[in-house]
Structure 1
Amino acid sequence: MIEGLLLLGVLLLLVLVGVPVAFAFGLAALLVVLFVLELPLVIIAQQAGTGADSFTLLAIPLFLLAGALMNAGGITRRLVRFANVIVGWVTGGLGLVNVGVSIFFAGISGSAVADTSAVGKAMIPGMAQQGYPRSFAAAVTAASSVVGPIIPPSIPIVVYAVASGLPIGTLFLAGIGPGLFFGAVLLTLTYLISRRRGFPRQPRISLKVAVKSFLDAVGALVMPLIIVLGVVGGVFTVTEAAAAAAFYALVLSTLVYRELKLRDLPRVLLEAGLSSAVIMFIIAVASLFGWVLVRSGFPRLLGDFLSGEAFNLILVLAMINVMLLVFGLFVEGNAAIIIFTPLLLPTVTALGVDPLHFGIIMVFNLMLGLITPPVGMCLFVASEIAGVSVAKLSWALAPFLVAGILTLLVITYRPPLTLYLPSLL
């Protein structure tokens, strides 16, 4: 128990002095393993390697590659045109288009940061030219990117599946309802803000242009269906689905859209490789950190505390949500999933919470950390693209963050939103 508290204390100290979170995990675990537990140094390499040594995790770089290929192949521009057909004519149309594109893009990349970068570059300059404040355009972009890790394919859901041992196909289905619900919440909030502030609408588009926009985008829109139906139907594993998605994206971008050239492939591969390396390194060091925490007996103490007679299920879930929200302010989401799943899943399962339901609660909760300072990656990416300060963007994001927390409460206390689609299997 002392080791666990010391581990958390060292981690907090390292984060506060500015050590990057991934290195803070590894350094904290290293210090405790060597000087408190007094275990051989080789244990560190073994546990970190074991954490990242999973065939299922191979899906992560392949999904990132599929998203990078699609984006380089001009799919973002096509999704913008299609979303403009659907909602562009409403007041605040470009804001609604921004959210709509993020919902569509969620079915391609599975990464919120990739969503923010791709959609932000496509939408923020255009929204600014139409009279939208850059801070508002960036806020809509960052907030709607949270949908990406909820709607399949989802990298955090893959990580949770590995940490929990649950079937990925069923988890993908569980994420669809909450993801679409949050998308609807963001569309409604964007419309209300746009109407109140008098933002413009786009002119209506002819039926001929609408049909052409749909045909241009349909190739990308069917990719999430291929992935989800293939995995759920047992046609292929999630790793095979990711490989199929990458191949499909390559064919679509080179032979159908004909925008991805051979000379572009090294850049696309490097982009996907760098993103994959960051995520896999985080998973490795978080696995090491989690192993040390479990060895200390901290999970047993936490479980005994949360399952005490003083707490009912509603209060326990509220406490867990607050803890995850605070932790998500400082720690990357995939790392937090690796650490907290073995800590919390046995306790909430014993209290009657469905593991599928809890997985979506955890993923959605931690993804809100992507749009909050001090380490929210989507916050910084959107800030850089829009050319506004992080402080100004944080204020613009406030209503969207409140909407996210309210959505989290709905997801937490209305299980059918998450479990209805999996129950149909």
Structure 2
Amino acid sequence: MALPQAAVADGAREADGLFRTALYRLESVVGGLVSTAAALLVAAEIVLLFAGVLARYALHTPLIWADELATILFMWLAMLGAVIAFRRGVHMRMTALLARARPGLRGLLEVLALTVPLAFLLILLPTAIEYAEEEAFVTTPALGIANTWRAAALPAGMGLMAFMALCRLARAESLGRSALGLVLTGAAVAGLVALAPAFPPLGNLNLLIFLVAGVALAVLSGVPIAFAFAICTMGYLGLSTDIPIFVMVGRMEEGMSHLILLAVPLFVFLGLLIEMTGMAQAMVAFLAALLGSVRGGLSYVLIGAMYVVSGISGAKAADMAAIAPALFPEMKARGADPGDLAALLSATGAQTETVPPSLVLITIGSVTGVSIAALFAGGILPAVVLGIMLCLVVRHRYRHEDVSHVRRASWAEIVRSFGIALPALALPFIIRAAVVEGIATTTEVSTIGIIYAALAGLLLYRRFDMRRLGPMLVDTASLSGAILLIIGAATAMAWSLTQSGFSADLAHAMTNLPGGAAGFMAVSIVAFIVLGSVLEGIPAMVLFAPLLFPIAHQLGIHEVHYAMVTILAMGLGLFAPPFGIGYYTACAIGRVDPDAGLRRIWVYLGALLVGLVIVAAVPWISVGFL
């Protein structure tokens, strides 16, 4: 006897529910294991590098193998962190247009943001496995082990990300939409493969097809930037050149494995640590006691606090998350417009991009060979110039503010708050001095900062929640993995541009711009504002810094000066609506509707642009302390 239709439907729904539950549990188990491994790797890197510092400076017996082991562990940390970021859906991507799409189209684009990376991962995975096998013939000099131990991180991470993508597609609310996304992606890949014979005769026109139009389409559609770079580079190499995509795996590994980049997760963790221990709040409290009673005083505090905290964490989201919750409630109580608060927070994010130890400074040093110590020294004054310009806007905007009801802190209170904040205020100077004076490398000094912050939290501020350490280590791995995967993909793309001859053509065109060095600088400012708004800071720098810095040097522009100008221009684009993702991050942290800040932010951005022009016109601001 046939079952009633309703019973069949109920049975199907129950089976579907059981399947989704089982799949979710499997994903959770795998994700938990990956998170635990990544957290342990972050902790191991901190211990290993700090042990290296102690062995060299205290015991005068350097650990020769320490850097080599740190590099091996770092590759696994980068790839497992990328897996965590993929599972959480926090890989950097442009969502400005996605958010404005109709619900149906938005849902399909969200699916494509999974299926496009999945296509890249499945296509490149066999080559990554082959690459790891080939590295077995290379032996590390200090440890004497096969380089496969490091290279295997690439296929392992790719395989796990592919697994996470399949799980998320299978658990999607609309399986039909997931299937449509897979079909569309598969059809696009098949269509490009079928057209493969037509691409080689087009020569460098393929650069426009794959690396301009393809990347733009993918990024604007909401595909994570790292995967947009990666799949378009793979398509360019595989379909229009005779270069095997095996080379791409090597370039990605090379881009992600620079030991200097190990400073990225360590400074990210340091930023989380100073927020957890109360060091950031202590600095804000001192500045508020000093300036809180003047017109616009808390806005000045926000500008100064972002400058000081940037000198510790190096991560912009961590900076804003440490400052905004401490200041915004009181600023709103004084009648400040929420939109103006989000606009100013966003502007201070752009202003402090050059404050060491900025992750962008570290990235530029790793891809261009410019001394990171010189970049750290050169980044201090440019941010001061832009901060002064923001202060002028604040002074004008709050010139009529009524502060008669605000209690002025006594000198005793100011001195007491300074004493409480002094250990925290000393940390940025310790970090800068240690690097600039050559006492420690950029990577090593981050571990010194971590130990210092942990001791300050335990002994002085008495705020050290051991239960938060695990999640902080996982968050560090996730953010670091997202950043490093972009660097790896962008390195492969930059190498492709170089091999195509594009870099030589670009150098010739930029060198012959009218106006010489001034014309080149002006074009660079405009270009990096646009690039910063579309690609974000780190991928933009990884892609174009190796191409443009030699041109700047050829035109007589100091590399540190050029670095400061391009970083500030990039920051201007990164925090400028409607495309700059930094603006939306500031709004999310401040819990302000993005539309509320749109009318307010342009005056601040205009002030930053004036400051940028001053920095570009006066090289001494960037190189005077070198």
Q: Which residue of 1 aligns with 2:533?
A: 329
Q: Does the 8 A contact of 2:355 with 2:380 survive in 1? A: yes
Q: Is 1:379 aligned to residue 583 of structure 2?
A: yes
Q: Which residue of 1 aligns with 2:394?
A: 190
Shift of 1:377: 3.2
Where 1:131 maps in the other structure, the secondary structure is coil
Q: Which residue of 2 aligns with 1:223?
A: 427
Which ranges in structure 1 are unaligned for 5 or more consecutive residues? none
Provide the C-alpha distance between the structure 1 equivalents of 2:374 and 2:402, rounded to a whole number of angstroms. 41
Paired residues, number: 421
Q: Does the 8 A contact of 1:63 with 1:242 survive in 2? A: yes
1:56-85: CA deviation from partner (whole Å, max 9, x where unpaired): 111111111111100111122212211112
Provide the C-alpha distance between the structure 2 equivalents of 1:175 and 1:303, rounded to a whole number of angstroms. 26
> Structure 1 254/38 Cα, relative in aligned 2: closer, same or farther at 3 Å?
farther
Q: Is 1:2 aligned to residue 205 of structure 2?
A: yes
Which ranges in structure 2 are unaligned for 5 or more consecutive residues? 1-203
Counterpart among 227, 239, 250 of residue 443 in structure 2 = 239
Q: Is 1:264 aligned to residue 468 of structure 2?
A: yes
Provide the C-alpha distance between the structure 1 equivalents of 2:242 and 2:221, rounded to a whole number of angstroms. 26
Q: Is 1:358 aligned to residue 562 of structure 2?
A: yes
Q: Which residue of 1 aligns with 2:481?
A: 277
Where 1:107 maps in the other structure, the secondary structure is helix
Q: Which protein, 1 or 2, shows the higher relative CO under an 8 Å CA cutoff with sep ≥ 6?
A: 1
Q: Which residue of 1 aligns with 2:603?
A: 399
Q: Which residue of 1 aligns with 2:343?
A: 139
Shift of 1:87: 1.7
> Structure 1 125/62 Cα, relative in aligned 2: closer, same or farther at 3 Å?
same
More divergent stretch after superposition (101-110 vs 386-395):
386-395
Counterpart among 21, 32, 36 of residue 240 in structure 2 = 36
Shift of 1:210: 0.7
More divergent stretch after superposition (380-389 vs 346-355):
380-389
> Structure 1 144/199 Cα, relative in aligned 2: closer, same or farther at 3 Å?
farther
Provide the C-alpha distance between the structure 1 equivalents of 2:513 and 2:308, rounded to a whole number of angstroms. 45
Shift of 1:39: 2.8
Amino-acid identity (%): 29
Provide the C-alpha distance between the structure 2 equivalents of 1:228 and 1:388, rounded to a whole number of angstroms. 34
Shift of 1:158: 0.6
Q: Is 1:110 aligned to residue 314 of structure 2?
A: yes
Q: Which residue of 1 aligns with 2:218?
A: 14
Shift of 1:16: 2.7
More divergent stretch after superposition (55-64 vs 116-125):
116-125
Provide the C-alpha distance between the structure 2 equivalents of 1:289 and 1:335, rounded to a whole number of angstroms. 10
Q: Which residue of 2 aligns with 1:130?
A: 334
Provide the C-alpha distance between the structure 2 equivalents of 1:231 and 1:66, rounded to a whole number of angstroms. 16
Shift of 1:49: 0.9
Normalised to the residue count of structure 2, the TM-score between the two structures is: 0.65
**Counterpart AA for 1:183:** G
Provide the C-alpha distance between the structure 2 equivalents of 1:115 and 1:95, rounded to a whole number of angstroms. 15
Q: Which residue of 2 aligns with 1:154?
A: 358
Counterpart among 448, 452, 455 of residue 248 in structure 1 = 452
Shift of 1:165: 0.5
> Structure 1 80/310 Cα, relative in aligned 2: closer, same or farther at 3 Å?
closer
More divergent stretch after superposition (95-104 vs 11-20):
11-20
Shift of 1:375: 4.2
**Counterpart AA for 1:241:** V
Provide the C-alpha distance between the structure 1 equivalents of 2:426 and 2:474, rounded to a whole number of angstroms. 26
Q: Is 1:389 aligned to residue 565 of structure 2?
A: no
Provide the C-alpha distance between the structure 1 equivalents of 2:440 and 2:430, rounded to a whole number of angstroms. 10
Provide the C-alpha distance between the structure 2 equivalents of 1:388 and 1:227, rounded to a whole number of angstroms. 33
Normalised to the residue count of structure 1, the TM-score between the two structures is: 0.95
**Counterpart AA for 1:416:** W
Counterpart among 293, 298, 306 of residue 89 in structure 1 = 293
Considering only aligned residues, what root-mean-square deviation do their CA atoms show, in Å?
A: 1.7
Where 2:222 maps in the other structure, the secondary structure is coil
**Counterpart AA for 1:244:** I
> Structure 1 309/275 Cα, relative in aligned 2: closer, same or farther at 3 Å?
closer
Q: Does the 8 A contact of 2:270 with 2:312 survive in 1? A: yes
**Counterpart AA for 2:207:** G
Shift of 1:199: 5.6
List 4+ stretches of structure 1 deviating above 6 A: none
Provide the C-alpha distance between the structure 1 equivalents of 2:205 and 2:565, rounded to a whole number of angstroms. 29
Provide the C-alpha distance between the structure 1 equivalents of 2:292 and 2:367, rounded to a whole number of angstroms. 41
Provide the C-alpha distance between the structure 2 equivalents of 1:200 and 1:223, rounded to a whole number of angstroms. 33
Q: Does the 8 A contact of 1:69 with 1:250 survive in 2? A: yes
**Counterpart AA for 1:2:** L
Q: Does the 8 A contact of 1:51 with 1:283 survive in 2? A: yes
Q: Is 1:347 aligned to residue 557 of structure 2?
A: no
Where 1:276 maps in the other structure, the secondary structure is helix
**Counterpart AA for 1:137:** L
Provide the C-alpha distance between the structure 2 equivalents of 1:383 and 1:112, rounded to a whole number of angstroms. 13
**Counterpart AA for 1:89:** S
Provide the C-alpha distance between the structure 2 equivalents of 1:44 and 1:278, rounded to a whole number of angstroms. 18
Shift of 1:134: 0.6
Q: Is 1:58 aligned to residue 262 of structure 2?
A: yes
